[in-house]
């Protein structure tokens, strides 16, 4: 496996620039084609910049690793990148910010995802009154020691105390 010099993706099948010819492989992650896109005069830096501007969307999604960490990937090639908060899906109950999709869509329907922070299922545990359901779940969750629902998925830089401070601010 080889690393993409544009985005840092580590699963390229061929060396991007072999001894004689470029691989002509398209990076599954950033979509850069070695030997083709650069031949058009597009530099790696320019491609990367444009890709980051488009919020680093994974080019060929079936290849996307389950726990894809774009910040870490870019850091591995020396690029500092911070995901924008706007792209994060935040749980309205406990403020866990790692939901796979928005808790509620634009029509207000729940995603049926279960929050890994507090265990709330959007669209189910909020029935029949969304606001009351969320509030009640949150109170119970805090009363129960605000422990993480899924301990395996918790990011190391997240701690419930920080989250609770955040919540108490919202309550005011
Ligand atoms: Zn790439
Ligand atoms: Zn939650």
Q: Which ligand is nearest to the CA of 10?
A: 1
State in Å: Cα 65 to ligand 2 middle.
23
Q: What is the pLDDT of residue 147?
A: 83
Same domain, 156 and 107: yes
State in Å: Cα 116 to ligand 2 middle.
6
Same domain, 2 and 78: yes
Q: What is the pLDDT of residue 36?
A: 96
State in Å: Cα 62 to ligand 2 middle.
27
Measure the CA–CA gap between 123 and 106, rounded to whole angstroms.
13
Q: Which ligand is nearest to the CA of 114?
A: 2
Measure the CA–CA gap between 130 and 2, rounded to whole angstroms.
48
Q: In tens digits, what is the pLDDT along the chain, a chain of 172 residues?
A: 999 999 999 999 999 998 889 999 999 999 999 999 999 999 999 999 999 988 899 999 999 998 899 999 999 999 998 876 556 789 999 988 889 899 999 889 999 999 999 999 999 999 999 999 999 999 999 999 888 887 665 555 556 666 666 665 554 4
Say if residues 10 and 3 touch (Cβ distance below 8 Å).
yes
Same domain, 66 and 138: no
* Domain end (from 83, 112, 137): 83
Same domain, 69 and 95: no
Encode 28-65: b = buried (16+ Cβ within 10 Å), e = exposed: bbbbbbbeebbeeeeebeebbeebeeeebebbeeeeee
DSSP per residue over 85-145, as a string? GGG-B--TTT----BSS-SB-TT--B--PBPTTT--BTTTTT-S-HHHHHHHHHHHHHHTT
Q: How many CA atoms lie within 13 A of 43 on its CB side?
A: 3
Q: How many CA atoms lie within 13 A of 22 on its CB side?
A: 14
Domain of residue 144: give its range: 88-171
Same domain, 93 and 166: yes
Measure the CA–CA gap between 77 and 73, rounded to whole angstroms.
7
* Domain end (from 48, 83, 118): 83
Q: What is the pLDDT of residue 18?
A: 84
* Domain end (from 43, 65, 83): 83
Same domain, 136 and 118: yes
State in Å: Cα 154 to ligand 1 middle.
27
Q: Which ligand is nearest to the CA of 37?
A: 1
Measure the CA–CA gap between 77 and 75, rounded to whole angstroms.
5
- 3-state DSSP call for residue 50? helix
How many structural domains are present in the chain?
Answer: 2
Phi, psi (rounded to 5 degrees) for 17: -125, 95
State in Å: Cα 122 to ligand 2 middle.
9
Same domain, 52 and 97: no
């Amino acid at each position: 496996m080889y690393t993409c010099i544009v985005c840092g993706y580590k699963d390229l099948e061929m060396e991007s620039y072999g001894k004689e010819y470029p691989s002509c492989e398209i990076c599954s992650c950033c979509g850069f084609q070695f030997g083709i896109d650069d031949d058009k005069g597009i530099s790696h830096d320019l491609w990367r910049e444009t890709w980051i501007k488009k919020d680093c969307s994974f080019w060929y999604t079936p290849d996307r690793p389950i726990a894809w960490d774009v910040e870490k990937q870019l850091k591995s090639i020396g690029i500092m990148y911070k995901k924008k908060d706007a792209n994060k899906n935040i749980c309205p109950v406990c403020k866990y910010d790692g939901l796979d999709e928005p808790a509620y869509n634009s029509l207000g329907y729940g995603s049926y995802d279960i929050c890994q922070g507090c265990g709330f299922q959007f669209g189910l545990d909020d029935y029949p009154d969304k606001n009351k359901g969320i509030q009640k779940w949150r109170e119970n969750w805090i009363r129960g020691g605000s422990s993480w629902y899924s301990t395996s998925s918790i990011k190391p830089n997240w701690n419930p105390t920080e989250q609770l401070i955040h919540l108490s601010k919202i309550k005011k």
